[in-house]
Amino acid sequence: MADQRVLVIDDEECVRDAFVDALEDMQCTVVAAPSGMDGVRHVESGPVNLVFLDLKMPNMDGVETLRRIRAIDKEVPVYVVTAFHAEFLDKLQTAEDEGLVFELLHKPIGHTAIRKVTSSVLGLPQFV
């Protein structure tokens, strides 16, 4: 099986580290990006199989990051992970109206949920 890449885009290092810790023994490579632009560069540089994306980030928020990711790859599963969904509700609705596909997960998200989503999307064995 080819190595599958999971991209975590979040400006908080502790959040990125939590995803890396949760997925460390799974059959995938986790790439962590501290900003939307860095995340977009990772998508441009090669195939990504799953994206976990924060909404509230400086410079370029998650909705704009989602737009740019979708301009490069319309198929990669994107899970928006945020504690600020109410604050971004209008922007998220506009993104949906534009045809941008994503799933919404609420922070805090635990290791088990991270692993279950990743296993399900990537077709990996269920490790909990």
pLDDT confidence of 128, banded at 50, 70, 90?
low
Q: Give CATH for domain 4-122.
A: 3.40.50.2300
pLDDT confidence of 1, banded at 50, 70, 90?
very low
Tell which residue, 46, 44, 37, has the closest CA to residue 9: 37
pLDDT confidence of 3, banded at 50, 70, 90?
confident
Provide the residue type at 74 as one letter: K
| Total-model pTM | 0.92
Hey, which bits of the chain come out as E strands?
A: 4-9, 28-33, 50-53, 78-82, 103-106
C-alpha angle 2/37/48, rounded to 5°? Answer: 10
59: left (phi over 0), alpha (psi -120 to 50) or beta: left
How far is it, in rounded angstroms, from Cα 93 to Cα 98?
9
- Predicted local distance difference test score (pLDDT) of residue 79: 97
pLDDT above 70 (res 2): no
Question: What confidence tens digit (pLDDT) does each residue in 83-125 have?
Answer: 876 778 888 899 999 999 999 898 889 999 999 999 999 998 8
Is the Cβ–Cβ distance between 33 and 39 less than 8 Å? yes
Extents of the domains making up the chain: 4-122
Question: What confidence tens digit (pLDDT) does each residue in 30-75 have?
Answer: 999 999 999 999 999 989 999 999 999 999 999 999 999 999 999 9
